Amino acid sequence: MGKTFSKTKLTLLPFRREFKWIEQELGLSKRTIHLWSDEFDDGKTLTTRDSPSLYWDNVPDATESFLLMVTDYDAPGPHFRILTIDHWILTNIGKDIHQLEHAISIEEMSAMGISFGDGFREEIKPGMYLPPRPIFGTHKYYFRIFALDCSIPLNLVEKEDILKYIDHHVLSYGEIVGTYNLKLAEVQ
């Protein structure tokens, strides 16, 4: 699924497959986790370029770990979607963790036992949040938390491998979507 172009990992046209997996395989009946942020409301503008605070509750009792992914399917622009950019992939978030603080550091997450998927660019350290910086138009950023009945092996860092591994391990998930437009943000 992933291709490498000049040290940048871009995924070509996977959003249809990923949405199909979430909608058909997981189904809306599994979207029971309540996910929210202090920095933005669902469907509204992201008000920070740092990682936002995230909170979640209503998780299944059988949860062993959480997976968090932040994805932009609108690259290079919302009317010309050909790329998917993964802004953050956090794995093995402990079952007793139900929040991430605003601008949380890699060191803080490591101390909490959180593992990291590969970043968008090779020069971006795993676990680092890639802030929104859309080239064209207003992009949507999907923040998704998955409750899993397992932990993810540490050698799985590529998104495609992680999604394959968790295919039959998702107990529930939650989603919140933030938007960002670089030109509008520069005006404010």
pTM of the model: 0.87
pLDDT at 127: 85
How far is residue 175's CA from residue 37's CA, in Å, rounded to a whole number? Answer: 11
How far is residue 180's CA from residue 30's CA, in Å, rounded to a whole number? Answer: 27
How far is residue 132's CA from residue 140's CA, in Å, rounded to a whole number? Answer: 9
- DSSP 8-state assignment for residue 158: S
pLDDT at 133: 85
- The two three-digit tokens of residue 124, written as one number: 């971006």
Is residue 63 a contact partner of residue 95, using CB atoms and an 8 Å limit? yes
Q: Would you kindly state where each structural domain of the chain is located, as residue ranges?
A: 2-187
- The two three-digit tokens of residue 178, written as one number: 């933030």
How far is residue 186's CA from residue 84's CA, in Å, rounded to a whole number? Answer: 24
Structural fold of domain 2-187: Phosphatidylethanolamine-binding Protein (3.90.280)
Residue numbers of the chain with a pLDDT score lower than 70 = 1-17, 19-20, 27-28, 119-124, 185-188
- pLDDT tens digits, residue range 118-140? 865 555 677 889 888 888 899 99
pLDDT at 98: 98
pLDDT at 45: 94
